[in-house]
A and B are shown apart, each in its own frame.
Chain A
Amino acid sequence: MPIKPIPLLPKFQNGLGSFILQCKKITLQVDKAGGSSEGLRQFLKLRLNNYAISNPKIEFRIVEKHGHPIIKGHYINGREKAICIRNLNVDNVENKLNLLKESSGEQLRKRTNKVESINQSIRGIWSPLHVDPSIRHKI
């Protein structure tokens, strides 16, 4: 066989073709009596219903447990993000939930390149050999 195929697996490009929200589940851990859970308790009472209806792609789970309140996001890539929301008021609880919702679940890291891409540069890599010979640098 003159041509041998090399098997490769395609790479995902989320948002190209289809967009899948990466946060699939949010666990809200609440203490029934603790003072630090006051904001979360109010949130559960007043806003969670509407919040869940406006975010149908996410599953919400409430866990009752002693201690400070924690919200935890579960992501498609298998990672989890937990935020302690002790003593936060209702609005701040919602902000933290939005933060979990919009996160991709990837570990935060410093981006060193201005552009990150899985595609090759369209112009190609600059090559000194392809510069016009009349202006090429001569040693």
Chain B
Amino acid sequence: MQSIIKSSSSSSSSVTFIRIRQFSTSSTLFNNLSNSNKTIVSEEDASKSAPLVALHKRLNLPNDYKLGTLTRALTCRSSRGNLANNYGLNILGKNFLSYYVNEYLLSKYPRLPLPVLNTAVSSYISTESLHNVGKYSWGIEIDETPILNKILNEEPKEYSLGKLRFLPINQIEETGITKLTSKSKDEINSSSAYALGVRSIIGGLYISTQSEDLTKKFIYDHIISRKLDLSKMFEFEQPTRELSRLCKREGLTKPIAKLLVENGRLSDKPIYVVGVFSGEEKLGESYGSSLNEAKIRASVNALKNWYLYKPLNNSVPSDKDYKPSIIDHGIVIV
């Protein structure tokens, strides 16, 4: 026998979900195809789900964020049952995420080359990345318990509202059993479902609070606050050549590599420290076990110093006191 206690003094009110309803009729985001005649969970029912209330509190969501919206954000389109799904919230959240992450990276590193910028953006908001956020940072659980077990455990039907619901791809292949039915297009793997959930929670935050500032803060706190070392994301093919082209474009003197220090030239483990200079100015410096290696490393260092330039004024266009910083010429064409 199990009994379940609600994890908080529920501020349960019998207010049904009015705001989203209005939004769904007025906006194309909630298209009629996916959500017409779907049931929307009432606050009273939703507050009976302990995992849902706990998740709401764990993410420090504002009180305006109704539990019903959170349930909806966790319900994927492919899930069984007749609950309203997160199709529209997902699109909204995706747009918010890509806007704020792009804006943040472009303002912080105005000289970032386009391929690296795109990779960095997808590092923050790719399906895999958001799956990690949902699973290992927010601790969202998947509703995996078979219906029979739920009945045997006497689990209230509201309990699983706080879990992620979707139609999983059945990956278990048993020998001798051939699946005749073709794969349903609604089947998704768990990482896509987590990503849907995370994006929808962000979309739901905007719908609930109608505040771009709060949504932006939430994205900065949970998505952008993770550490991504951009200097490890570069791979140069011809760094020395690229550096000399860059110097030519920027009107600097031709870069020259100079040996700064060396040790053990005649031994089998020599160390050379090489600096790349343009006139009197040192552009970059690095080490290597041969002169050529040290020179290439120094050029890479100089290029990274250029591309990863961070302006002191770090405001983004959505800030109130935004001041435009530099606009870069773009990547060097070799």
A: residues with CB less than 8 A from B are: 1-14, 16-18, 20-22, 24-25, 48, 52-53, 55-64, 75-77, 118-119, 127-130
Q: How far in angstroms is the closest Cβ of chain B from A45?
A: 13
Q: With A20-B59, A57-B57, A129-B261 given, is the CB distance from A3 to B9 under 8 Å?
A: no
CB pair A48–B5 under 8 Å, yes or no, is yes
CB pair A5–B221 under 8 Å, yes or no, is no
Partner of A21 from B4, B58, B118, B228 at Cβ < 8 Å = B58
**Hey, what's the 0/1 contact readout for B222-252 against A, CB within 8 Å counting as 1?**
1011111100111111100010000000000
CB pair A9–B50 under 8 Å, yes or no, is no
CB pair B225–A17 under 8 Å, yes or no, is yes
Per the bound structure, the CA–CA distance linking A113 and B222 in Å amounts to 28
Q: With A24-B139, A76-B137, A129-B271 given, is the CB distance from A3 to B4 under 8 Å?
A: no
Q: How far in angstroms is the closest Cβ of chain A from B180?
A: 35
Stretch at the interface among B33-41, B92-100, B124-132: B124-132
CB pair B226–A10 under 8 Å, yes or no, is yes
Return chain A residues, CB-CB under 8 Å to B58. Answer: 20-21, 24, 57
CB pair A76–B139 under 8 Å, yes or no, is yes
Per the bound structure, the CA–CA distance linking A41 and B224 in Å amounts to 45
Partner of B51 from A16, A59, A77 at Cβ < 8 Å = A59
Per the bound structure, the CA–CA distance linking A17 and B333 in Å amounts to 38
Which 10 A-B pairs give the minimum distances between C-beta atoms?
Answer: A17-B225, A76-B139, A10-B226, A5-B119, A56-B8, A18-B221, A10-B228, A17-B221, A4-B235, A56-B57
Return chain B residues, CB-CB under 8 Å to A59. Answer: 7, 50-51, 53-54
Q: With A25-B54, A61-B50 given, is the CB distance from A5 to B59 under 8 Å?
A: no
CB pair B137–A14 under 8 Å, yes or no, is yes
14 of the cross-chain contacts (CB-CB < 8 Å) are A7-B119, A8-B123, A9-B128, A12-B226, A17-B220, A20-B139, A24-B58, A56-B9, A59-B51, A59-B53, A76-B139, A119-B227, A130-B261, A130-B273
**Hey, what's the 0/1 contact readout for B2-13 against A, CB within 8 Å counting as 1?**
111111110000
Return chain B residues, CB-CB under 8 Å to A63. Answer: 2
Question: Is B331 an interface position by the 8 A CB rule?
Answer: yes
Per the bound structure, the CA–CA distance linking A129 and B122 in Å amounts to 40
CB pair A62–B2 under 8 Å, yes or no, is yes
Question: Is B138 an interface position by the 8 A CB rule?
Answer: yes
Partner of B222 from A3, A18, A58 at Cβ < 8 Å = A18
Closest to B141 in A: A24
Closest to A75 in B: B139
**Hey, what's the 0/1 contact readout for B94-136 against A, CB within 8 Å counting as 1?**
0000000000000000000101101110111000110010001
Partner of A12 from B116, B136, B273 at Cβ < 8 Å = B136
Per the bound structure, the CA–CA distance linking A59 and B78 in Å amounts to 27
Return chain B residues, CB-CB under 8 Å to A17. Answer: 220-222, 224-225
CB pair A6–B232 under 8 Å, yes or no, is yes
CB pair B123–A7 under 8 Å, yes or no, is yes
Q: Which residues of B44-90 are within 8 A (CB) of A?
A: 50-51, 53-54, 57-60
Return chain B residues, CB-CB under 8 Å to A25. Answer: 51, 54
Q: With A2-B334, A3-B234, A60-B50 given, is the CB distance from A8 to B228 under 8 Å?
A: yes
Q: With A7-B119, A61-B2 given, is the CB distance from A2 to B138 under 8 Å?
A: no
CB pair A6–B119 under 8 Å, yes or no, is yes
